[in-house]
DNA sequence: AAAATCAATCGTATATTTGCGATAAGCAAT
DNA sequence: ATTGCTTATCGCAAATATACGATTGATTTT
């Protein structure tokens, strides 16, 4: 992509908010998170049953949510249990709260 | 893009939240909105001075924010005055509020 | 050690996003 | 009607996102 020569430096909280928002910017990921909030936790397999998407696609969405810090995976062999990352969840919550006044 | 055969139907509020989140998913757009919240309103030209981005790029970001419904433009010849769309702003605010509990 | 199970990653295809410069379009004043 | 100012759109290039099937990797059970 053609980019501005001087890479723009935004305030840290601006970047953070954009990062969280981007992660939330897809209905499937919103739905996954809602599911996690309700169930408190769940496994990838469960989600594959809930959504008409390939396992690899679900996994990819989970990865993005994990990268954004909104969820975390706990090894629960032979499965992996995904939960909301409460700490960052609070951070995101307050970022959005402050943003909207 | 290879898509699921059956286009997934999400709840309306899930789609709406994802739409707003997507619009917020770029630091420049966050910064623009913060600017608008502070200034209450402003013109495209002002933003071009504030951000080291081409006028066309700013215009594109404004377009996305407008499409998402977060801002609105008022003709103030020869300029266009952009403001927060208070109505949708409230909607977005409560969607994020509910989402984060 | 082998088999089974589950999730992650790879490779691919396509769509969308982001950025730019250049051009067009809208409107006011001349 | 022409000019000048402001913003939108077009056309392009490159990056990123979204989805899939196929494969790999990790771990437990047999």
pLDDT band at A68 (very low <50, low <70, confident <90, very high): very high
What would the pLDDT profile of B24-44 be if each residue is shown by its tens digit? 999 999 999 999 999 878 878
Domains of chain B: total:
1
> Does residue B21 contact residue B95 with C-beta atoms inside 8 Å?
no
Range of the domain at B24: 12-99
Residue A51 domain-assigned? yes
CA distances from residue B4 to A26, A52, A53, A97, B7 in whole angstroms, order as listed: 15, 7, 7, 35, 6
* Residue in the structure block whose two tokens are 């623009």: B32
Cβ distance of A14 and B31 shorter than 8 Å: yes
Residue A50 domain-assigned? yes
H or E stretch at B79: strand B79-84
Q: State the pLDDT at residue B94.
A: 98
Residue B35 domain-assigned? yes
Residue A5 C-alpha from the chain's centroid: 30
H or E stretch at B75: strand B71-76
Residue A4 domain-assigned? no
Please give the structure tokens belonging to residue A56. Answer: 């690899």
Contacts of B29 in chain A (CB under 8 A): 18
Check if A99 contacts B (Cβ < 8 Å). Answer: yes
**In A43-66, which positions are buried (b, 16+ CB within 10 angstroms) versus exposed (e)?**
beebbbeebebeeeebeebbebbe
Residue B4 domain-assigned? no
Residue B51 domain-assigned? yes
CATH at residue A21: 1.10.10.10
What sign results for the dihedral spanned by CA atoms A43, A48, A53, A57?
positive
What would the pLDDT profile of B59-71 be if each residue is shown by its tens digit? 999 999 999 999 9
Q: Measure A41 CA to D30 C1' (Å).
A: 29
Nucleotide nearest to A52 (CA to C1'): D19
Residue A43 domain-assigned? yes
In chain B, whose CA is at the least distance from the CA of A15?
B27
Residue B2 domain-assigned? no
């Amino acid at each position: 992509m053609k980019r501005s020569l001087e890479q723009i430096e935004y305030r840290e909280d601006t970047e953070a908010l954009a990062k969280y928002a981007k992660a939330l910017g897809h209905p499937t990921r919103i739905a996954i998170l809602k599911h996690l909030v309700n169930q408190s936790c769940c496994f990838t397999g469960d989600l594959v049953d809930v959504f008409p998407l390939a396992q690899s696609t679900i996994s990819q969405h989970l990865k993005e949510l994990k990268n954004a810090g909104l969820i975390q995976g706990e090894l629960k062999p032979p499965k992996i249990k995904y939960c909301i990352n409460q700490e960052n969840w609070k951070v995101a919550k307050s970022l959005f709260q402050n943003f909207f006044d």
